[in-house]
Amino acid sequence: MKKNKAILIPENPISQFLFNDSRSGLIWLVIRVYVGFAWLKAGWGKAMSDAWTGENAGVAIHGFVSGALKKSTEGGDVTNWYASFLENVVLPNAKVFGFIVAYGEMLVGLGLIFGLLTGIAAFFGAFMNVSFLFAGTLSTNPLLFILATWLVLAWKVAGWYGLDRWALPMLGTPWVKNDKL
């Protein structure tokens, strides 16, 4: 009886370059810093706002969620299951979510700007973008979601011109020099 052998499908040249070749790091640097500054700016504004993290923390979240709930009853921009989550989980914990959103946005921004744990930072940025999209907010969320998804796919090289170049090998990521290139 023969054992099934895995069939290895080679990467196409464009994907190989974009997602596995450190020379594409400059492309990802531009995208990473752009997305990072967008997150840092958004988070900084929230962290400095009394309605997000100050004495009136939770007021901004309450307003945002109320708007999303209104959209869910008017036109279907917000699905019922997400409206239920917002109403039953987010609203009762609006103050906590205010801090999570504000400082989460700043951490994502800093991670992307400095290229530290780039794939993880981009993943959480994309997660927040999807959350905002589910709540019926377009703004820059679709664009940032697409770019963050690409950064997640390019995690091995997106932080090459950043702290990942040193941090990932220390964490056991298998970067090796290929002299055949």
Indicate if the pLDDT at residue 85 is higher than 70: yes
d(C-alpha 142, C-alpha 165), whole Å: 29
Percentage with pLDDT > 90 across the chain = 83
Percentage with pLDDT > 70 across the chain = 94
Indicate if the pLDDT at residue 121 is higher than 80: yes
pLDDT tens string 150-175: 999 999 999 999 999 999 888 887 66
Q: Which of 24, 6, 7 is nearest to 153 (CA)?
A: 24
Mean pLDDT, range 49-58, rounded to an integer: 96
pLDDT tens string 136-153: 999 999 999 999 999 999
In this structure, are residues 62 and 94 in contact, taking their beta carbons and an 8 Å threshold?
A: yes
Token digits of residue 155? 């995690």
pLDDT given for residue 181 in this prediction: 45
In the chain, the amino acid numbered 7 is I
pTM above 0.95, yes or no: no
pLDDT grade for 1, boundaries at 50, 70 and 90: low
In the chain, the amino acid numbered 177 is K
